[in-house]
Amino acid sequence: MAAVWLAALPLRSAGAESSSQAQEAPQGNPAPEIPDTVELKGGGFIRGLVIEYLPGERLVIRTAEGKLRELPLTEVIHVERGGKAEAPPQAPGTSGARPSLDDALSRIDGPRLTLRVEADRRASLERRIVTAAATGAEDRVAFHIVCQTPCQVSLPTKDAELYRVGAPMAQPTPWFSLPSDDAQVQATLVHHSYSLWPRGLFNSGLVFGGLGATFWGLHAAEVASEWASTTGIVLALVGATSILASGVVWAVRPASQVHITPLR
């Protein structure tokens, strides 16, 4: 399992984190740096340093030539963070950098289970990271990417951290705990735009309703003729319909789901 770090946190630069890690490296024999890798939908990839990441929008990477490339997330399939090739062991009691996924899982003793993960689109199994930087909100959380679907991984049964399945431009599944035995995870993901429709209909209803009231007011004040009254009534009806439709769409909107069954 590759140690991958993606943090859906407010806009920040990765340069500060890189510099802090560099200060913790021993002075005698520093480990070589591995660049970040951004895999593109067109089949290529870009290597460099990811310095900005905005969830659902874009990321910015500084290439080896020093140029800044801004990439919309719709063109990105996968991001693998680099770092140091091999971190030397630290003396007991020293504070190290944020642990990688392999480090975090290797510290958990006990038996392991096999987890097979599948989804209806290209997605990833994500393990939440509890750090001081994590906000705990559903849309702003730090996590490790465990694997890309479809995949099968071995995880410790005593891992108390939460997992979910997510994909770019899609609503992630609810967080879930690892089962106690071998299991299969089947995720059904929906596009994130479904959550925008109710809000858009409601706002448009307010706009149409306000316009309808304006035209009706002009007619009542005898500023405009009969056409203003008719136009105001029509706009008010359109606004009321949009507001009612927003409630219906909100009630029936789909949501990403995850089903966990015993592995056969």
Q: Does domain 1-84 have CATH number 2.30.30.100?
A: yes
Give, in words, the CATH class of 99-189: mainly beta
Q: Model-level pTM?
A: 0.47
Confidence (pLDDT) at 56: 73
In whole angstroms, give the CA distance from residue 80 to residue 3.
8
Sign of CA dihedral 49, 144, 84, 40: negative
Q: What is the DSSP string of 194-245?
A: GGTHHHHHHHHHHHHHHHHHHHHHHHHTTSS-HHHHHHHHHHHHHHHHHHHH
Helix ranges (DSSP H) in the chain: 15-24, 101-106, 197-220, 226-252
What is the structure's pLDDT at 165? 92
The residue type found at 61 is I
* β partners of residue 45: 39
In a 10 Å sphere around its CB, with 0-12 CB exposed, 13-18 middle and 19+ buried, how is residue 250 labelled? middle
Query: Which candidate, 183, 180, 179, places its Cα nearest to that of 261?
Result: 183
User: So what's the pLDDT on residue 185?
Assistant: 92
Q: Cα separation of 199 and 205, whole Å?
A: 10
Supply the pLDDT for residue 118.
Answer: 92
Domains 1-84 and 99-189 share a fold: no
CA distances from residue 260 to 53, 58, 165, 172, 257 in whole angstroms, order as listed: 31, 32, 12, 15, 10
What are the pLDDT tens digits along the chain (264 aa)?
433 444 433 333 334 333 333 344 444 444 445 677 888 877 777 888 887 777 777 888 888 788 888 888 888 877 776 655 454 454 443 344 445 788 788 888 889 999 999 998 888 999 888 644 444 454 456 788 889 888 999 999 898 889 999 888 888 899 999 998 999 999 998 887 767 777 777 888 888 888 877 877 776 666 656 777 777 778 878 888 888 877 777 676 778 889 999 887
Q: Give the domain ranges of the chain.
A: 1-84, 99-189, 194-252
